[in-house]
Amino acid sequence: MLVSPIEGHRIWSASYDNDPNPLLALDMRVLSERLGPLRGLRVVDVACGTGRWISTALSSGANVTGIDLCEEMLAAAARKPELKGRLALAQVDGLPVASGCADLVLCSFAISYFPSAPGAIAEMARITRSGGRVVIADLHPGACEAGWKRSFRAGESVYEIEHHNHPAGELNAAAEQALLEPEWNEDACFGMPEREIFRKAGKDSAFLEVSAIPALRVICWKKS
């Protein structure tokens, strides 16, 4: 069943934290290695969902705010005591954050759900200080070409979430317009740390095939 991003995440919120997800595990592994020390940084997590990155950044000593448009996802995040007072409901084109206040703006697995990637990037750049970073992680285009879906199971139903394909050229052009300069990017495949998730799901036989396909694309820009 094809659903909108907001409806899909409303449904998914009930099980989002319960079902091990190799894509989220890969995202956490890659970004944890690439972001460097977060202690003392002001971090804004755009489309924060149930707060997985907020919790991680807080445990690393960052000062974090999470923003999302899905009330159900934020409700799941709010049930985590450490996230109290750190969550806000808002659209990506109107982030309730002062200009130039963030050291790091993170947007993980969400840019493809925004109709206007340039608008989202411009707003994330607005709240980033000079010298700060904007980091976007999303499903790799190579995975999409291989037929991977943005989907999840709830009960007996499988839901596929509507999305927009924003080519890297479009993202980088929008970043340049917003005074963001490329700092690094990484294309990542599943590795041995994620294999255990496949095994527990009874899909170990598929691991070798999917691990040869780029699963995650991460782009980091620096605000000039």
Q: How far does the chain reach from its first CA to its final CA, in angstroms? A: 43
- H or E segment to which residue 145 belongs: helix 141-145
Inter-helix orientation angle 5-12/71-78, to 10°: 30
| Cβ contact 106:45 at 8 Å | yes
Residues 176-187: pLDDT tens digits? 999 999 999 999
Q: Quote the CA–CA distance of 170 and 12 in Å, as a whole number.
A: 29
User: Is there a contact between 68 and 89 (Cβ–Cβ < 8 Å)?
Assistant: yes
pTM of the model: 0.95
Instruction: Copy the structure tokens of residue 93.
Output: 């084109």
224 residues of the chain, pLDDT tens digit each = 999 999 999 999 999 999 899 999 999 999 999 999 999 999 999 999 999 999 999 999 999 999 999 999 999 999 999 999 999 999 999 999 999 999 999 999 999 999 999 999 999 999 999 999 999 999 999 999 999 999 999 999 999 999 998 999 999 999 999 999 999 999 999 999 999 999 999 999 999 999 999 999 999 999 99
pLDDT at 19: 85
- The CATH number corresponding to 2-223 among 3.40.1180.10, 1.10.10.10, 3.20.20.140, 3.40.50.150 equals 3.40.50.150
Alpha-carbon gap, residue 136 to 219, rounded angstroms: 5
The SS3 call for residue 133 is strand
Residues whose CB falls within 8 Å of the CB of residue 177, separated by 6 or more in sequence, listed in order: 118, 122
Q: Are 162 and 3 in contact (CB under 8 A)?
A: yes
